[in-house]
Amino acid sequence: MTESLLDLYKRIITIKDGMELEHLYPEKKQETILENLISAIQPESSDQDLLMITKCCLHFLEIGASDSIKDDAETCLSMIKTFSINQNKENVQLLCFKNYLRILYSRWLPDEQKNTCINEINEFHRSSHILIQFLYLLFYFDDKLNPDYNLLKQDLSHFPISKITSLCPVYQSLCEHSTDIKEMSLPLTCSISTESITQRFLNQFIYGDHGLRHKHYDKTRNHALLNTLISLAHSTSKSASSHQKAIIKHLDFLYNALNNAEKKEDIDHFLELKEELQFIKNSLSPEKFEKLKPNVIKSLNKCLELH
């Protein structure tokens, strides 16, 4: 820990008013401090140093002397978040996540910057820590932790495919971990169980109109969802049977969609669906479905018989 950073932290963190901060540290001085804070983000930085830098940045973001200062503070905070993910620093990631959530619901954040804040939160899907992954999922699926920006409140017809493909591996990790969220010691209060997250994921992206059943076929989105679905159906997780049933239901949906495309002579869509069916066939191991093995074989063969 560097003494100068500690001294700066102790002085700045006690100031609660923007005018007082500007009196003690005029705008030019605030600009220099932020430049030094950004320069202090180094691979050898300790967690304690990074936590102090983060808290100083939050202070400037909230009561900095100008929009330019607040932009610099936001840049610094983003750099720490990305650095903490790349360097696998769980404690710093946790502080950044909690702070971004607090910033998102703060009164002082302009509406036009809300999307920027959500985009920063989205980067936590890259974390290798199961706790951070859980928090990332809770952000989208827990409507009490995140009442205004959860999946149920979003217009999913405009939900980016990149976010769906980012959610898939994190969701898979949660299910494979096979520990109920309520059994974990979480730093935030959550009101949802692992089973509820599974049901909401399936309802939104497997059975709903915004994933596998989207009216506009997208190979990247569908393959990501199917990879997750099939991997979990093959797993020994508590939710394996739910995902096995979801695959069978999707094969039945696929059968009807292929029939409709054929009747309408929609050759392009028919070929897209046939490609998806082949992808499922190549990826699926029916023997892992145990009791549901006859059901999945029946649904798969029914689709394959269509020409």
Give yes or no: residues 140 and 115 share one domain: no
Give yes or no: residues 141 and 124 share one domain: no
Res. 187: pLDDT tops 80: no
The alpha carbon of residue 306 and the mean position of all alpha carbons in its chain are separated, in whole angstroms, by 38
CA gap 300, 294 in Å, rounded: 10
Give yes or no: residues 64 and 52 share one domain: yes
Give yes or no: residues 188 and 112 share one domain: no
Calculate the dihedral angle through the C-alpha atoms of 264, 267, 270, 276, rounding to the nearest 10 degrees. -160
Res. 112: pLDDT tops 90: no
Give yes or no: residues 135 and 187 share one domain: yes
Give yes or no: residues 199 and 246 share one domain: yes
For residue 37, the model assigns a pLDDT of 95
Of the three residues 97, 128, 159, the one that is the final residue of a domain is 128
- 221-245 per-position pLDDT tens digit: 999 999 999 999 999 999 999 999 9
Give yes or no: residues 122 and 135 share one domain: no
Give yes or no: residues 292 and 277 share one domain: yes
Give yes or no: residues 180 and 285 share one domain: yes
DSSP 128-174: --HHHHHHHHHHHH-TTTSTTTSGGGS-GGG--HHHHHHHHHHHHHH
Give yes or no: residues 152 and 277 share one domain: yes
For residue 3, the model assigns a pLDDT of 53
For residue 1, the model assigns a pLDDT of 44
For residue 85, the model assigns a pLDDT of 97
Average model confidence (pLDDT) across the chain: 92
Number of domains, the chain: 2
Look up the domain containing 27 and give its range.
Answer: 1-128
Give yes or no: residues 190 and 306 share one domain: yes
Give yes or no: residues 48 and 142 share one domain: no
CB hemisphere CA count around 104 (13 angstroms): 22
Res. 248: pLDDT tops 90: yes
Range of weakest confidence among 159-163, 176-180, 303-307: 176-180
Of the three residues 106, 128, 150, the one that is the final residue of a domain is 128
pLDDT confidence tier of residue 219, bands split at 50, 70 and 90? very high
Of the three residues 88, 109, 128, the one that is the final residue of a domain is 128
For residue 185, the model assigns a pLDDT of 57
User: Percentage of residues in the chain with pLDDT exceeding 90?
Assistant: 79
Res. 2: pLDDT tops 90: no
